[in-house]
Amino acid sequence: MCAIGCYINIYSGYLLLAIVVQVRQTPIRVVKSVLAFVLCLGGLLLASAHLDGDDWGFLRYTYLSNIFALDTTPNMGLFWYMYVEMFDHFNTFFVWTMQLLIFGTCVAATLRFYEDPLFLAVILTMSTGILRPYNSIADLGCSLALAAHWRHLTPYFRNLLFTLGLMGTALILSPLFYFTWLRTATSNANFYFAAALIHSLGRAEEANLGRRFVVEFSSGGHQAPRSDKKQSRVIPASTAGC
């Protein structure tokens, strides 16, 4: 499934890190998992090239276009604005800087949350969804759907109202600024990029809510309250000797 996801979206390949840490106790299973991923992805790419007349040119317009951000059409991501504003001779430097940022974030998350592969997969999905070149509102829906698995932790989150306010503001301002910039020409790219920044900040804070809870209650120094814990009953003094 990870290979199929990577075939559709190259950044889904980072989920292989969660699979590897899941089976890290058995080296042979790690090798089998990586080998199965490579063979499955390679088979899908070979089939695509064969259907395209044994031409590998499709890689430029699918995977390489995501890595090098060849299309600078405005979206909810952060790449397009940098390309529009910066000088052309800095493009290569910026591309590899942003790709290394995504890679470093995923590796750091793996080193921190390797004991919880499922939560790591959610963090990887959220991180790549925020930092990849072509972001969309659909990524937000995917993150919220995955975060619902930990809905029982909602009472212990901090800054939840602030996060919801950020996301609500971004969802309202994004189409408004897009319309005023590209339709009526009464604003510029800075307005729309400001809405994209608010959207990315809200999603980053959303991921940080779960991360903060795991860091606080998984270290052993704190215990998460249990909702099904029975309250202790006080025995009246008159019946204590019975």
Hey, where are the domains in the chain? Answer: 1-68, 70-217
- For 156-174, what is each residue's pLDDT tens digit? 666 777 777 877 888 888 8
pLDDT computed for residue 46 by the predictor: 92
List of residues 6+ apart from 46 with CB closer than 8 A: none
Chain-centroid distance of CA 162 in Å reads 19
- For 101-148, what is each residue's pLDDT tens digit? 889 989 998 998 888 888 888 888 888 888 888 877 777 777 777 777
Position 53: which residue type?
A: G
Local structure of residue 185 (DSSP, 8 states): -
Q: Which residue has the higher pLDDT, 224 or 213?
A: 213
Could you give the CA distance from residue 122 to residue 144 in angstroms, rounded to a whole number?
A: 10
Could you give the CA distance from residue 240 to residue 219 in angstroms, rounded to a whole number?
A: 39
pLDDT at 44 over 70: yes
Structure tokens given for 51:
């259907």
List of residues 6+ apart from 84 with CB closer than 8 A: 72, 189
- For 58-95, what is each residue's pLDDT tens digit? 888 888 888 887 777 787 877 788 777 777 777 788 88
Q: What are the counts of helices (DSSP H) followed by strands (DSSP E) for the chain?
A: 10, 0
Q: What is the pTM of this model?
A: 0.74
- DSSP result, 75-102: -SSSHHHHHHHS-GGGHHHHHHHHHHHH
Could you give the CA distance from residue 163 to residue 205 in angstroms, rounded to a whole number?
A: 6
Could you give the CA distance from residue 148 to residue 134 in angstroms, rounded to a whole number?
A: 24
Could you give the CA distance from residue 93 to residue 207 in angstroms, rounded to a whole number?
A: 28
